[in-house]
A and B are shown apart, each in its own frame.
Chain A
Amino acid sequence: MNSAPLPRWSLLLLLTIVVLAVVVPWISPWNYYTPSWDELDLEPTFANGHWLGTDDLGRDLLVRLMWGCRISLLVAVAASLTSLFIGVLWGATAGYAGGRVDAWLMRTVDVLYAVPFIPFVIVLTVLFGRNIVLLFVAIGAVSWLDTARIVRGQTLALRQREFITAARVGGMSAAQIVRRHVLPNLAGIVAVYLTLTIPTVILVEAFLGYLGLGAQAPLTSLGVMIADGAAQLRSRPRLLICPALLLALLVLCCNRVGDALRDRFDPASGGGA
Chain B
Amino acid sequence: MIPAVRMLCSALVVSALALSGCSHSSAPAALNVVEAPGPNVAEGHLRRQIDQAPRTLDPGLSVEVPAQRVIDDLFEGLVRLDPAGQLIPALASRWEISADQLQWTFHLRPDARWSDDSPITAHDVVFGWRRVVDPATASQAAQMLAPVRNALQIAGGKLPPDQLGVQALDAHTLVVHLVAPTGWFAYQLTNNSLFPVPEHVVRQHGAGWVKPGVMVSNGAFVLKEARINGAIQLVRNTRYRDAAAVKLQRVTYYPVGDRAAAVSRYLAGDVDVTDGFPIEDIELLSQQLGSQLKLAPYLGTFMFGLNQTRPPFNSAALRMALTLAVDRDVLTSKLLHGLYLPAYTLVPAYGGYEPPLPEWVKWTAEQRHARARQLYAQAGYSAANPLQVELSYPTSGPDTRRVLEALAAMWQVNLGAEVRLANEEWRVHQQNRRLSVHALFFNAWIGDYPDPQTFLDLYRVGSPQNHGKYSNANYERLIALGSNTGDAQQRTQAWQQAESQLNADAAFIPVYYYQSRHLIRPWVQGWQGNITDRHPSRDLWLSTQVSQ
Contacts and interface: CB of A to CB of B under 8 A. Distances in A.
Complex: A in contact with B (CB within 8 Å): yes
Nearest to B19: A237
Given A130-B422, A235-B284, A248-B14, A37 B330 contact: yes
Contacts of B289: none
A210 B397 CA distance: 8
A34 B260 contact: no
Nearest to B401: A217
B435 to A, nearest CB: 13
Contacts of B11: 245, 248-249, 252
B278 interface: yes
A142 interface: no
Given A234-B25, A234-B284, A218 B421 contact: yes
A9 B3 contact: yes
Most buried by A among B2, B3, B281: B3
- Of B259, B280, B404, B428, chain A has the most CB atoms within 10 Å of the CB of B280
Contacts, number: 119
Interface stretch (A101-109, A131-139, A225-233): A225-233
A253 interface: yes
Contact of A13 (B4, B402, B425): B4
B335 A57 contact: yes
B398 interface: yes
Interface stretch (B182-190, B236-244, B405-413, B488-496): B405-413
B26 A234 contact: yes
Interface string B238-278: 00000000000000000000011001000000000000001
Interface string A27-57: 0000001110100100000000000000011
A33 B404 CA distance: 12
Nearest to B397: A231
A51 B115 CA distance: 65
A232 B45 CA distance: 31
Given A212-B425, A237-B19, A256-B3, A245 B281 contact: no
B17 to A, nearest CB: 10
B10 interface: yes
A169 interface: no
B423 interface: yes
A78 interface: no
Contact of A40 (B15, B263, B334): B334
B283 interface: yes
Contacts of A232: 260, 278, 280-281
B96 interface: no
B545 to A, nearest CB: 31
Contacts of A236: 280
Chain A facing B: main interface SS: helix
Interface in A197-247: 209-212, 216-218, 227-228, 230-237, 240-241, 244-245
B111 interface: no
B7 A253 contact: yes
Nearest to A59: B405
A31 B535 CA distance: 46
A150 to B, nearest CB: 26
A154 interface: no
A217 B396 CA distance: 13
A233 B425 contact: no
Contacts of A218: 405, 408-409, 421
Nearest to B407: A35
A40 B398 CA distance: 16
A122 B428 contact: yes
A153 to B, nearest CB: 31
Contacts of B402: 56-57
Interface string B385-410: 00000000001011001101110110
B22 A237 contact: yes
A111 interface: no
B4 A231 contact: no
Nearest to B426: A210
A52 to B, nearest CB: 13
A271 B139 CA distance: 71
Nearest to B427: A122
Contacts of A237: 18-19, 22, 26
A252 B401 contact: no
Given A57-B406, A256-B7, A212 B428 contact: yes
A222 to B, nearest CB: 14
B39 interface: no
Given A56-B280, A212-B425, A216-B422, A233 B7 contact: no
A210 B423 CA distance: 8
Contacts of B280: 56, 231-232, 234-236
Contacts of B330: 37
B424 interface: yes
A7 interface: yes
Contacts of A82: none
B420 interface: yes
Contact of A9 (B4, B10, B405, B413): B4
A126 B260 contact: no
B4 A35 contact: no
B334 A216 contact: no
B2 A126 contact: no
B21 interface: yes
A13 to B, nearest CB: 6
Nearest to B406: A35
A122 B425 contact: yes
A209 B335 contact: no
Given A10-B7, A212-B425, A34 B18 contact: no
A262 to B, nearest CB: 16
Contacts of A7: 3
A12 interface: yes
A56 B401 CA distance: 12
Interface string B411-441: 0110000001111110010000000000000
Interface in B15-40: 15, 18-19, 21-22, 25-26
A121 B280 CA distance: 31
Interface string A109-130: 0000000000000100110001
Most buried by B among A227, A233, A234, A241: A234
Contacts of B22: 233-234, 237
Contacts of A210: 395, 425
Contacts of B281: 232, 234-235
Interface string A45-78: 0000000000011000000000000000000000
Contacts of B397: 231
B470 to A, nearest CB: 27
Contacts of A212: 395, 423-425, 428
B215 to A, nearest CB: 33
Contacts of B3: 7, 9-10, 256
Given A125-B428, A237-B19, 4 more contacts: A10-B4, A122-B428, A217-B423, A235-B26
Q: Which 10 A-B pairs have the closest CB atoms?
A: A9-B4, A232-B280, A237-B22, A228-B398, A9-B3, A212-B424, A210-B395, A218-B405, A235-B284, A212-B425
24 contacts: A7-B3, A10-B7, A33-B405, A33-B409, A34-B413, A35-B406, A35-B409, A57-B335, A125-B425, A212-B424, A217-B405, A230-B260, A231-B260, A231-B397, A231-B398, A232-B260, A232-B280, A234-B284, A235-B26, A241-B15, A241-B18, A245-B15, A248-B11, A249-B7
